[in-house]
Amino acid sequence: MALSIMALVVTSTAFAQDARLKRLNNGVDAAAWEAVGRLNIGGTGFCTGALIAPDMVLTAAHCLYDKTTGARIDHSQVEFLAGWRNGRASAYRDVRRALVHPDYSFQGSVSSGVVRNDLALLELNHPIRDGKIVPFETAARPRRGAQVGVVSYGTGRSEAPSLQEVCRVLAQQDGVLVTSCSVEFGSSGAPIFVVDRGRAQIVSVVSAKAEVEGEAVALGTSLGAPLARLQAEWVAEKGTLTPRVKVHGARHQTGAKFVRP
């Protein structure tokens, strides 16, 4: 699953400024991130997701497809474990409904077109109304050079989330956000965020990991038009409106080899 496109110049300085991953082992460290959770999928794998409303989780669309057959996974086989840490979750919820972006197409290979629409919304069977688990707001995609962060699960760190407080936006192209954030298999669907006035806001969702000039990078769906389209579908199906995000930002040429995390 590889794709080569136009070259992206990445300096080592961009990566040198990144923070290391920090495992959120205790309640004090994880307090601000309880709305990030592990998605257990069909008993065979997991992804990462984040609450954006008491009954709604934002994640990557490809998490809902069987990698071998390409078939859609029954949403009843998906469970959201909010704040999953060392064998316990702050809340456990089954999924009542799953909505994939209408322009997303699961494919064996990964392209910028696939990544651009790699979004899904999950409706939980019961809202999570716990004062310690606060849904995240979403925001417009950041500009190139902006400081972002990521909270995710992954291979080798599936039992507690890890926080990378500082990584960078390296480029944008066709709705794909290229960042220096550290992700691994299982990090799909993880929220990439900015902090505005002390509050974390989701600006992207991890779709793939990649390698550029020998450096590992993460690729995500830029929230904006894709999320607005998905929200419109949500409204059409149920009449429930979720928070809207602004659409802006310039496109930048990128080059990467893509692999789904």
Pairing of strands 157-173, 176-179: antiparallel
- At residue 244, the pLDDT reads 41
**What is the distance between the alpha carbons of residues 146 and 160, in angstroms, rounded to a whole number?**
27
Burial pattern 223-239, b for ≥16 Cβ within 10 A else e, equals bbebbeebbeebeeeee
**Predicted pLDDT of residue 51:** 98
From residue 180, give the alpha-carbon distance in Å to each of 23, 149, 150, 259. Answer: 18, 9, 10, 15
Segments in the chain forming alpha helices (H): 12-16, 27-30, 112-116, 225-238
* Digitized pLDDT (tens) for each residue of the chain, 261 residues in all: 233 333 454 555 566 678 899 999 999 999 999 999 999 998 779 999 999 999 999 999 999 999 889 999 999 999 999 999 999 999 999 999 999 999 999 986 777 888 999 999 999 999 999 999 999 999 988 888 999 999 999 999 999 999 999 999 998 888 899 999 999 989 999 999 999 888 999 999 999 988 877 788 999 988 888 888 898 888 888 755 444 444 333 333 333 333 455
261 vs 258: CA distance, rounded Å: 9
How does pLDDT run across 215-241, given as a tens digit for each residue? 889 999 888 888 888 988 888 887 554
Domain boundaries, the chain: 12-259
What is the pLDDT at residue 174? 80
CATH T-level fold of 12-259: Thrombin, subunit H (2.40.10)
Task: Say what the pLDDT of residue 7 is.
Answer: 43
- What pLDDT is recorded for position 255? 32
DSSP category for residue 33: G
The pLDDT value given to residue 11: 52
Position 6 scores a pLDDT of 36
Q: In this predicted structure, what is the pLDDT of residue 67?
A: 87
pLDDT at 14: 61
